[in-house]
Amino acid sequence: MNKLAKELLKKNNNREKAIFDENKEIYTNMIVYLRGSDLSEYNQEVVRGDIIELIIDGQQRGDNIKKVMGGRYKEICDQIIEAMPKKTKKDKVMDFLDMSLHALWVLGVISLAKNFIISLISNKAGFEFILTVGDIINGLAIILIANVIVLYITKTAFGAKKEKKVVSFLKTWFIAAAVLAAMILSNVYFRTIAVNISLWLAAITVILIFVIWKIISERA
């Protein structure tokens, strides 16, 4: 996120505190839906700021968000999104690099910690960084699942009917259990070593990935 977007984000975070509790749920749904749009982070914050001001102005007149928006929350969001400039190809490439490098350094840190602990327990002479085919598959699966979850949440922010808590809880745990089982099986059956380097070299690589991500993130 670039500097202008960060400044606007901070301003909106402070301004939204003035939104009454009774209006927060619908406001949150609108912003979640907005996050899944094809707008840049800066333009998302511009739209978010406009929505906040509309709600606060309505509150000052004694109107709730339903009266201000006419109950057409999704339609209003779609109209605003349609009127705003979309991401360019460059923006999309930068977003992809931002997301990919962020996931890489986070997973890299986790792998470093795991390999460091294994090296300590096994009392090996040298610290090694080992990735199996199963580790790589699991890493890619985590990134894919995370993106699918985010996409699902943003696209269903205005779900017509809320699921019962018990059904939602059971569904969530069933999916989590299935994913966990698949990851365990992947580690059991795909144990071929794909990467075997010094732990220190791996640490330097992760640091470089982090630095590159920070540079791209500031420009995205």
Q: Tell me, letter by letter, the H, E, C secondary structure of 80-116.
A: HHHHCCCCCHHHHHHHHHHHHHHHHHHHHHHHHHHHH
For residue 183, pLDDT beyond 90 = no
Structure confidence by residue, pLDDT tens digits, 67-117: 988 888 888 888 888 888 888 888 888 888 888 899 999 999 999 998 998
Instruction: Return the minimum-mean-pLDDT range out of 53-57, 115-119, 201-205.
Output: 115-119
Give every CB contact of residue 29 below 8 A, 6+ residues apart in sequence.
73, 157, 158
Q: What is the pTM of this model?
A: 0.76
For residue 1, pLDDT beyond 60 = yes
What is the arithmetic mean of pLDDT over 128-151? 86
Confidence at 208, pLDDT banded by 50, 70, 90? very high
Confidence at 159, pLDDT banded by 50, 70, 90? low
